[in-house]
């Protein structure tokens, strides 16, 4: 119980405007959400309601941010969990946690007077990995419970639930999760391009003093291949370098040093895991 309470986090509000780049992912997500809120029409037309959206792409590209923004956009409560929280030694514990997650989301929505809840499950591949022919893993029950919850999502009264899951390894997912009526909307969240990187840098520079002549285009160019999370680190490290330098503002050289540091840090991390 303790573990469950510790890990399930309630996170602050966030809008799509606070997410840099990712224009097509934002657009696709908003379109899906716009459709979702027209629930009466959906019902009239006999359209199968959208239950799950799968966000796929490398780590640190803003998948969690997109899920949070989706909750804000649809005026829903936001409940987040990670696939690894459901993997337990004892059979049935993970399944129980899935049940609680859905129950919690409904309770919170009702308490806060909201019509809907967004449940975000990061690292869905941990519980939703492919089930190889006949081989039963002890946490198959967890996946089965998730499928059961998804199937029953609209048989119960409001609050409605939208499930958003994220993975870096879509090809690993069990086909049961990808079937129509489950996670049938997939949105790719790629590493940002140069324009996206610049946008992300600008967002993370907002609360930082920058020299007037700083060239963020150049920084965006030099940070090719960086994720949003790495760009956030670059801005943070640059501020640290400026402070160490006894300066009042962040200069271009601090940005370049920060890029090197983040790049090197990643390399060292990778080497240490080999």
Q: Which residues of 51-84 are buried (b: 16+ CB within 10 A; e: fewer)?
A: bbbbbbbeebbbbbbbbbbbbbbbebbbbbbbbe
Which member of 232, 234, 235, 262 binds ligand ATP (CB under 6 A)?
232
| Footprint on residues 38-97 left by ligand ATP (CB under 6 A) | 59-65
| Footprint on residues 156-215 left by ligand ATP (CB under 6 A) | 166, 168, 200, 203
Nearest approach in angstroms of CB 60 to ligand ATP is 5
Asked if residue 122 binds ligand ATP (CB under 6 A), the reply is yes
Nearest approach in angstroms of CB 21 to ligand ATP is 5
What 8-state DSSP symbol labels residue 169?
-
Identify whether the C-beta of residue 128 lies closer than 8 Å to the C-beta of residue 146: yes
Nearest approach in angstroms of CB 218 to ligand ATP is 19
How many CB atoms within 10 Å of residue 3? Answer: 11
Residue 188 to residues 27, 246, 257, Cα–Cα distance (Å): 11, 42, 31
How far apart are alpha carbons 138 and 92 in whole angstroms? 8
Query: What distance lies between CA 64 and its chain's CA centroid?
Result: 2
Asked if residue 228 binds ligand ATP (CB under 6 A), the reply is yes
Asked if residue 19 binds ligand ATP (CB under 6 A), the reply is yes
How far apart are alpha carbons 203 and 22 in whole angstroms? 13
Nearest approach in angstroms of CB 58 to ligand ATP is 7
Asked if residue 128 binds ligand ATP (CB under 6 A), the reply is no
Nearest approach in angstroms of CB 11 to ligand ATP is 10
Binding interface with ligand ATP (CB under 6 A): 19-22, 59-65, 122, 166, 168, 200, 203, 228-229, 232
């Amino acid at each position: 119980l303790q573990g469950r309470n510790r890990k399930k986090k309630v996170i602050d509000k966030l809008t799509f405007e606070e997410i840099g780049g990712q224009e097509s992912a934002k657009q696709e997500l908003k379109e899906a959400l716009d459709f979702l809120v027209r629930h009466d029409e959906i019902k009239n037309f006999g359209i199968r309601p959208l239950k799950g959206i799968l966000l796929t792409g490398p780590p640190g590209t803003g998948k969690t941010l997109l899920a949070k923004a989706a909750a804000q956009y649809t005026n829903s409560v936001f409940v987040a969990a990670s696939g690894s929280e459901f993997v337990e030694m004892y059979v049935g514990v993970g399944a129980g946690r899935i049940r609680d997650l859905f129950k919690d989301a409904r309770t919170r929505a009702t308490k806060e007077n909201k019509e809907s809840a967004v449940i975000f499950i990061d690292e869905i591949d941990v519980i939703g990995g492919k089930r190889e022919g006949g081989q039963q893993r002890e946490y198959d029950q967890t996946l089965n419970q998730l499928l059961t919850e998804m199937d029953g999502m609209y048989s119960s009264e409001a609050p409605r639930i939208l499930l958003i899951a994220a993975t870096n390894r879509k090809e690993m997912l069990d086909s049961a999760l990808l079937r129509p009526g489950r996670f049938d909307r997939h949105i790719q969240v790629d590493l940002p391009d140069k324009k996206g990187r610049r946008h992300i840098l600008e967002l993370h520079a907002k609360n930082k003093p920058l020299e007037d002549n700083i060239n963020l285009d150049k920084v965006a160019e030099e940070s090719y291949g960086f994720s949003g999370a790495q760009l956030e680190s670059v801005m943070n490290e640059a501020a640290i370098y400026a402070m160490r330098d006894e300066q009042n503002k962040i200069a271009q050289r601090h940005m370049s040093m920060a890029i090197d540091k983040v790049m090197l840090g990643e390399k060292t991390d990778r080497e240490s895991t080999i």
